[in-house]
Amino acid sequence: MAPDRQPTLTGERVTLRPSTPDDWEALFAVASDPLIWEVHPAHDRWKEDVFRAYFDAGIASGGALTILDRTTDKVIGSSRFDNWKPEADEIEIGWTYLARDYWGGSYNREIKRLMLDHIHTQVGTVVFTVGEGNVRSRKAMEKIGGALRAGPPELRLMAGEMKPHVIYEIRRP
């Protein structure tokens, strides 16, 4: 049975709910900050046409989640479950971005903990694909317990170029 990739998850600080096309304006308002993407391999996602393709792919994936601040009910970012591989008992969490006001604290940890707790009831291993040079995301992965997979970086198409990515994983406790 396929895992539930669009749950509503509620924590102390955030709520994650299924993304819909109606989320475009609020999510683009967050994503249009170039500093969010400056160390990301797709560093031009702040541009409307580039973000539109990213947003549309998230909706089409069936696993996109919109993140809201529980205190204000304001949209603060997005994340996604995707690339489920039933034969490997594995799914990917990624495509996460947050408004800068929510960086460096407990928000990302809470978001990932909610997503991991939910999906680990259905899938044994969660992977995270991170741009090799994306130091900010790599540090965040280490903070939440991600283990770097051995092997050479994988090449993925980002911003029209093949860019090296590393894989982190977290297995079901």
User: Which residues, including other chains, have CB under 8 Å from residue 135's CB and lie 6 or more apart?
Assistant: 39
Instruction: Establish if 58 belongs to a structural domain.
Output: yes
**Which two tokens mark 8?**
């509503």
| The pLDDT of residue 121 | 97
Helix 48-61 with 24-31: angle, nearest 10 deg:
130
Q: Give residue 157's pLDDT.
A: 78
The pair of structure tokens assigned to 31 is: 């994503």
Rounded Cα gap, residues 12 and 110, in angstroms: 8
- For residue 123 the two structure tokens come to 């899938």
Each of the 173 residues of the chain gets a pLDDT tens digit; together they read 899 999 999 999 999 999 999 999 999 999 999 999 998 888 899 999 999 999 999 999 999 999 999 999 999 999 999 999 999 999 999 999 999 999 987 999 999 999 999 999 999 999 999 989 888 889 889 988 999 999 999 898 777 788 899 999 999 98
**pLDDT value at position 30?**
98
Nearest alpha carbon to residue 158 among 65, 39, 75: 39
Classify residue 3: in a domain, yes or no.
no
Task: Return phi, psi of residue 3, to 5°.
Answer: -70, 155
**Which residue range is the domain that position 142 belongs to?**
9-171
CATH number at residue 158: 3.40.630.30
Q: Strand 14-18 to strand 64-69: parallel, antiparallel, or no bridges (unpaired)?
A: antiparallel
As for how many domains the chain has, the answer is: 1
